[in-house]
Amino acid sequence: MDLSSEAIRPDVANTAPLTRREITELLPEVRGWSLKEGRLAARFGFKGFPEALAFLNRVAEFAARENHFPDLSIQEERYVEVAWYTYAIGGLSRNDFIMAARLSEQLRRRRGGIV
C-alpha cells in the first residue's frame, strides 16, 4: 500500500518509535525527505517571503486536518523546512512518513505548487 493512502493512527502515544531498520525501509518511499537530527525533514524553496509564508500556512492547515503537526520554519526568507517527529513517543512514527508522503503527493499533483 502506498504510504500517502494510509490512514493516520489517531493515538500513537503508547507505541514505540520506529527502529532504525524500519526508518531505513521507509525512507525510499518518501523521495526528497531525509533524516535530520532524528526528524524526517525536507526543504522547499520559493521566490520570496510571501510565498514561503503562504506555503507554511497551507502546510499548517494540512497538518491540522489530520491532527499531526510538523515543526515548520522559514529560513533565509524564501525556504520552508518541514520536519515530522512524534513528540508523544520521542521519535519517528509511521504517521510521520504517511504525512510526508501525503504532502509530497499533493505537491506532485500541483506540480510543485502550494498544498
Domain range annotation of the chain: 31-106
Confidence of residue 15 (pLDDT cuts 50, 70, 90): very high
pLDDT above 70 coverage of the chain, percent: 95
- Give residue 107's pLDDT: 86
The phi-psi region of residue 111 (left if phi > 0; otherwise alpha if psi is between -120 and 50; otherwise beta) is left
Is residue 36 within a helix (H) or strand (E), and if so which, with residue range? Answer: strand 34-36
- Give residue 112's pLDDT: 52
* Phi and psi at residue 91, to the nearest 5°: 180, -165
pTM of the model: 0.92
- Give residue 1's pLDDT: 63
Fold that domain 31-106 belongs to in CATH: Gyrase A; domain 2 (3.30.1360)
Query: Stretch 64-79: mean pLDDT, rounded?
Result: 96
Half-sphere exposure for 42 (CA within 13 Å, toward CB): 17
Give the C-alpha separation, 64 to 56, whole Å.
Answer: 12
Nearest 5°: the CA angle 44, 47, 50 is: 90
Query: Stretch 6-15: mean pLDDT, rounded?
Result: 91
